[in-house]
Structure formats: structure tokens, C-alpha cells
């Protein structure tokens, strides 16, 4: 759950915020860690929470048993595809390699025009600052187009971030993305 209590508090507050705004949560289905805290907070506030988890992780007994709906799939690839299909937008909270992999994948899918959903990062306590600097460098060096960089919505305040997501209008992209 990270070393800072801010991260867990932000996950709980974000889950509560989603539920009180009537926004359902689609997530990885775990009962542990930041994902579990996020789901528990959304559920406690009366929110709808759908979890998607591969059978191998269900077998390890980390699946959340109190969800609105738990979808069990065969692989991590199926998990990500189903979560992307079910979700209307994507938010990355502070996390590790899996969080980054999923955040970059859905952003890349947006760049490729495979979806037009918001991709957002909740930048708790400046967690993503260094990564955002690297992405800005990629854009500055011509490896990321400015309109693609702008597709990643970032804010340190959950309320403002949710408003950005709700108001998101995808950029008009050239059909040939390269």
C-alpha cells in the first residue's frame, strides 16, 4: 500500500467520491492493498463495484467477496480487456508496475484510437511528478505528440480529477496515428 498513509487515504476518499457521485467502480477485484481499500470505501458509501480477476488469483483467496459483481476470467490479458470494456474511463492511483503497465496500455489504446475514454492519474503527494516529467520530455523530444500527451488527465485533487474525466472530450486525431 506504499509507505505514505496519504496513498491509502486517497484511495478510500476516491472510492467514497465515486459512490457519492453515482459513478460505478470497475477494478481488479482484490480484497487487499489499495484496490481493496478503494473498493471497500465505494461499497461503504453505497456504490456499485465490479471486480475482474483471473481464476489463479481467486484461487489464492485474494478476491473480494463483497462486491456488487465479481467476474472471473482465465488470464491477466482477459482481465484487462474486460475491465477496459466495462469502464467508461480509467484512473491510476499511486501504485507499482501493474498500475503503470495498465495506465500506459489504456493511454496507448486511446492514442491508437481504440477507445475515446478518459485516461487519468490521481497525483497524490506528487507521486507521478517524475514520471510526468519523463512523459513531457518524450513529448518535447518528439516521441509523443502534444495532443497525445494532453490525453492524460492529471490532478492532485480527486474532485477536480473526476470533473475533468466527466468533461473529457477526446482530441480529434489524425486517422493515421504515426
The CATH number that applies at residue 86 is: 3.40.50.450
**pLDDT tens for residues 131-157?**
999 999 999 999 999 999 999 999 999
The CA distance from 43 to 50, in Å, is 10
Helix (H, G, I), strand (E, B) or coil at 20: helix
Closest CA to 29 of 85, 74, 72, 75: 72
Domain annotation covers residue 174: no
pLDDT at 175: 67
Name residue, grid cell 474525466.
165
**pLDDT tens for residues 3-43?**
999 999 999 999 999 999 999 999 999 999 999 999 999 99
Domain annotation covers residue 125: yes
> 37 lies in which domain range?
5-162
pLDDT at 178: 47
The CA distance from 122 to 167, in Å, is 16
Domain annotation covers residue 178: no
Instruction: Please check whether residue 89 is in contact with residue 120, taking contact to mean a CB–CB distance below 8 angstroms.
Output: yes
Domain annotation covers residue 60: yes
Number of domains observed in the structure of the chain: 1
DSSP state of 124: G
Q: What are the C-alpha distances in Å from 141 to residues 32, 144, 145? A: 40, 8, 9
- The separation between the first and the last C-alpha atoms of the chain, rounded to the nearest angstrom, is 37
**pLDDT tens for residues 46-87?**
999 999 999 999 999 899 999 999 999 999 999 999 999 999
Instruction: Please check whether residue 14 is in contact with residue 40, taking contact to mean a CB–CB distance below 8 angstroms.
Output: no
Cell numbers that stand for 91 in this block: 484512473
Amino acid at each position: 500500500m506504499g509507505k505514505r498513509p496519504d496513498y491509502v487515504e486517497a484511495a478510500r476518499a476516491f472510492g467514497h467520491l465515486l459512490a457519492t457521485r453515482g459513478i460505478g467502480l470497475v477494478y481488479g477485484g482484490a480484497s487487499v492493498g489499495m484496490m481493496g481499500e478503494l473498493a471497500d470505501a465505494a461499497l461503504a458509501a453505497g456504490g456499485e463495484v465490479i471486480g475482474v480477476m483471473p481464476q489463479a488469483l481467486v484461487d489464492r483467496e485474494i478476491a473480494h467477496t463483497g462486491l456488487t459483481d465479481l467476474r472471473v476470467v482465465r488470464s491477466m490479458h482477459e482481465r484487462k480487456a474486460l475491465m477496459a470494456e466495462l469502464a467508461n474511463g480509467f484512473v491510476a492511483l499511486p501504485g507499482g508496475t501493474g498500475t503503470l503497465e495498465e495506465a500506459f496500455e489504456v493511454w496507448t489504446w486511446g492514442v491508437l484510437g481504440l477507445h475515446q475514454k478518459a485516461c487519468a492519474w490521481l497525483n497524490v503527494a506528487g507521486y507521478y511528478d517524475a514520471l510526468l516529467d519523463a512523459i513531457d520530455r518524450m513529448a518535447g523530444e518528439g516521441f509523443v505528440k502534444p495532443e497525445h500527451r494532453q490525453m492524460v488527465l492529471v490532478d492532485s485533487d480527486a474532485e477536480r480529477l473526476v470533473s475533468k474525466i466527466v468533461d473529457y472530450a477526446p482530441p480529434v486525431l489524425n486517422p493515421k496515428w504515426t
